[in-house]
Amino acid sequence: MSNNELTEKLILVVLDGCRYDTAMEQMGVMNHFVEYHQAECIKVIAEMPSNSRPLYAVLATGVPSYRNGILTNGHVQRIQEESLFDLVKQAGGITGAAAYYWQSELFNEAPYDIRRHRIQNDEHQAIQHGIFYSDDTYPDSHVFADANHIIQTYQPNFMLIHSMNIDDVGHKFTANSREYVATVNQADTILGMVLPQWLEAGYQVLVTADHGMDENGLHGGSLAAHREVPLFIFSDKFPKNSGLKQMDQIELAPLICSLLDIEAGTNMQIGTAKRKGRNG
């Protein structure tokens, strides 16, 4: 860690399958910080297709699916685009992840082999320090415990925490179920236990989702239930009372680059360029 040239630190939490309206109704800890002007909350419009693997790629690269090549959950390959992990490494920083194994496949090596890839510590990889799970029912509490081990041991400059229980329960019981609502509520409780420690350690924290969930237990399409997700921002570098209420998901990667004070990827696009039909 003595070679670490990057001083800014950021944790990105992705609550898989957490829709915006449920987060507003059930995440009392997150919204408490917003109410007391300690955090900002923005509605994010997820890219299409609103499925997990394509959106993991978008979140980490800022490049739309038609260009980055990850169009479906079946595209099991390492992405060729520069990711946030690559950019942080290039800036002299340390990267980490406690995440679903698809993240390892996208940014380190595909296909995932639980015998070799469950725990990874390799400074040559994009994700240098990773603990990856392959069971959708792996408890969110364990994911955050894995993350805290990496944070405390390696002090990464960019840390991805990616939990799966909300998505798993949503597919099984639908977004209209008590089970789905309770799992979002529980994720908020877990965040309430760890967030103060992260902030005290000097981390900026972003909490968002890849996609939402509908009343049929599905996502992938164009419904608001599929595409509207929350973004809670805990950062002194993000302007307070900015008035920004909504943004495109593809803008998140360049925003993270700005918050980390590193150069954005050459192929990163912003939402306004997408809406105006420019190539970016």
Q: Which pLDDT value is given to residue 242?
A: 77
Which homologous superfamily does the CATH classification assign to the domain defined by 10-275?
Answer: Alkaline Phosphatase, subunit A (3.40.720.10)
Query: What would the pLDDT profile of 238-270 be if each residue is shown by its tens digit?
Result: 987 778 899 999 999 999 999 999 999 999 976
Q: Is the pLDDT of residue 54 over 90?
A: yes
The pLDDT confidence band at residue 153, using thresholds 50, 70 and 90, is very high
- Sorted by where each begins, the domain ranges of the chain are 10-275
Identify the pLDDT of residue 270.
62
Q: Give me the mean pLDDT over the 118-133 stretch.
A: 98
Residues 250 and 47: beta-carbon distance below 8 Å: yes
* pLDDT value of position 239: 84
Q: What average pLDDT score do residues 137-148 get?
A: 98
Mean of the per-residue pLDDT values for the chain? Answer: 94
Share of residues in the chain with pLDDT > 90 (%): 92
Q: Hey, which of 176-180, 267-271, 274-278 has the most confident mean pLDDT?
A: 176-180
Chain segment 194-244, per-residue pLDDT in tens? 999 999 999 999 999 999 999 999 999 999 999 999 999 999 999 877 788
Whether pLDDT at 35 is above 90: yes
The confidence score (pLDDT) of residue 4 equals: 55
